[in-house]
């Protein structure tokens, strides 16, 4: 079993797509193990996107991701990191296939609706940025 961090980004929340996006993961057979609405501050945004600190788009990305609340979710399942990334599509929605979240709902490179961790190690770190252990609910059966 893997866990990954998903964020429905501020554009997705503003457009009323949080439920649609999260329900896709559930319908696929992944489980929501934790969920909360968070208005990220600059410090959390810079920590979450630390790997991009030197990129030309970093400042704009931090402004965007803090522009409104996100839905932060821990998504759990077999190969969850990879399955979620494939369901999201490419970083640029224009290059994303129909049937993916970005390919179905996005046109903008920055405002691309959704974040998903890109490795198990990064997922662990990213989840810890948003959730305490006690906020993540283990499956009973
Ligand atoms: N991004 C951007 N311009 C770029 C590349 C990325 O604005 O040239 C934004 C976009 O919102 C993307 C995020 O920065 O989702 C993080 O980039 P990354 O390369 O990690 O893409 P992801 O893992 O989200 O597909
Ligand atoms: Mg990334």
- Show pLDDT as tens, one digit a residue, over the chain (141 residues): 999 999 999 999 999 999 999 999 999 999 999 999 999 999 999 999 999 999 999 999 999 999 999 999 999 999 999 999 999 999 999 999 999 999 999 999 999 999 999 999 999 999 999 999 999 999 887
SS3 track for the chain: CEEEEEEECHHHHHCCCHHHHHHHHHHHCCEEEEEEEECCCHHHHHHHCHHHCCCCCHHHHHHHHCCCCEEEEEEEECCHHHHHHHHHCCCCHHHCCECEHHHHHCCCCCCCCEEECCCHHHHHHHHHHHCCHHHCCCCCC
Per the domain annotation, does 73 fall within a domain? yes
pLDDT recorded at residue 16: 98
Which one of the ligands is nearest to 123 CA?
A: 2
Per the domain annotation, does 141 fall within a domain? no
61 CB within 6 A, ligand 1: yes
Per the domain annotation, does 62 fall within a domain? yes
Question: Whole domain around residue 17: which residue ranges?
Answer: 2-134
Quote the number of domains for the chain.
Answer: 1
Distance 110 CA to ligand 1 centre (A): 6
- Could you tell me the pTM of the whole model? 0.98
pLDDT recorded at residue 140: 80
Per the domain annotation, does 139 fall within a domain? no
Per the domain annotation, does 103 fall within a domain? yes
| CATH number, domain containing residue 97 | 3.30.70.141
Which one of the ligands is nearest to 126 CA?
A: 2
Per the domain annotation, does 55 fall within a domain? yes
52 is known as an active-site residue: no
pLDDT recorded at residue 122: 98
Q: Which atom of ligand 1 is nearest to the CA of 111?
A: 11
């Amino acid at each position: 079993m893997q866990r990954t961090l998903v964020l429905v980004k501020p554009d997705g929340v503003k457009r009323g797509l949080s439920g649609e996006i999260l329900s896709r993961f559930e319908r696929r057979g992944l489980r929501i193990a934790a969920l909360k609405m968070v208005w990220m501050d600059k410090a959390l945004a810079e920590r979450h996107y630390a790997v991009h600190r030197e990129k030309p788009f970093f400042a704009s990305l931090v402004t965007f991701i803090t522009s409104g609340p996100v839905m932060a979710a821990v998504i759990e399942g077999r190969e969850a990191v990879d399955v979620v990334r494939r369901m999201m599509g490419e970083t640029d929605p224009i290059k994303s296939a129909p049937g993916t979240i970005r390919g179905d709902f996005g046109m903008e490179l920055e405002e691309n609706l959704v974040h998903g961790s890109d490795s198990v190690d990064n997922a662990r770190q990213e989840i810890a940025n948003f959730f305490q252990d006690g906020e993540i609910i283990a499956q009973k059966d």
